[in-house]
Amino acid sequence: MAINLIVAAHSDLGKMRERNEDSYCVLLPPQISPELEGLIVVADGMGGHQAGEIASAQVTDTLEQIFSSPVYRQWVDYSPEREDYYVAVVKEVLERINDRLYAMATSQPQLAGMGTTVTMALLAGGCAYLGHVGDSRAYLLRNGKLEQLTQDHSWVAEQVRDGVLNLQEAAADKRKNVLTRALGTDLVVRVDRSVHPLQAGDSLVLCTDGLTNLVSDAEIQATVQTDHNLERACEALVNLANQRGGGDNITVLVARVASDKEKPQATRQNAAITQPLRLRREQRTVGMSWQQRALWWSLGFLMGILATLGLALVWLQPR
């Protein structure tokens, strides 16, 4: 069953960070390889200096490049005739990107410690093929019920799964941002994979922990379920995280499986994806906190005064 998607995304610096180290990618027909129905990705970078934003951008840019044509097949040593072919695609593509990131991090001192989460959904044949590393998340909203499709690869999440911590203790633990798995940090990475058949009305939600650390699953469910305008739903979730402190970069992406009647609407809404994507990339490289902006404004004002005084002194000197 071929599916038609309506997609919206929103990424924000948050209230405490100087740079946006989150990245996301949306590929839909006709930009994606013809046998595929869509690609949606979120990545949350980490590392000193600008290494985090470099890592997450490497992931999304590479995925966008290789899935925009059948070139991805050259990355995969597996028969396309096999039923689990796209499971292998997700695994091998992310493993190769991990190799690339690890080589960059170990050969360039300024990128030491670089890494990123990744949560991707490759859509083909009416199914979502998920690949996941880290603590970004994928959810499925179906018939009013939100289900988390991924497991967080973090120390705190593992303690919860082992029964050492409860959810309340985990939420307050200062180590909740400590990852146990990420792309680029080790030579070998284990990629979680899963397959999820989709049906009309389903919504996939992909997001970084800047959202889930501050907004509950129930609030994500209510927002996406009640607001038919996906762009507005994404913005509402980001705004809610910012209202609660915005301690990290926040990225949320929602993809709804549309019915045949919604195809014209999908075309109009998806046409807006390229512009937010471009703006988000500009923001990642030039985004500044209000403290930084105030400092630059003050320096600019001071330089203007000094330049004016200098011209006045030159003018007043006797000729």
Please tell me which of 82-86, 299-303, 306-310 the model is most confident about, judged by mean pLDDT.
82-86
Please state the CATH superfamily assignment of the domain spanning residues 4-287 in this structure: PPM-type phosphatase domain (3.60.40.10)
Select from 8, 17, 16, 42 the least CA-distant residue to 223.
Answer: 8
pLDDT digits (tens, 9 = 90+) for 250-289: 999 999 999 766 653 333 344 445 434 433 444 444 444 4
pLDDT digits (tens, 9 = 90+) for 8-62: 999 999 999 999 999 999 999 999 999 999 999 999 999 866 799 999 999 999 9
Query: Do the Cβ atoms of 237 and 211 come closer than 8 Å?
Result: yes
Give the pLDDT of residue 281.
Answer: 46
Instruction: Name the pTM for this structure.
Output: 0.83
Give the angle subtended at the CA of 34 by the CAs of 33 and 40, to the nearest 5°. 50
Task: Please report, for the chain, the start and end positions of each structural domain, with discontinuous segments joined by +.
Answer: 4-287, 288-319
3-state helix, strand, coil in the chain (%, to 5): 45, 25, 35
Query: Do the Cβ atoms of 127 and 195 come closer than 8 Å?
Result: yes
Give the pLDDT of residue 296.
Answer: 43
Query: Do the Cβ atoms of 21 and 284 come closer than 8 Å?
Result: yes
Contacts of 178 (CB under 8 A, 6+ apart): 154, 155, 156
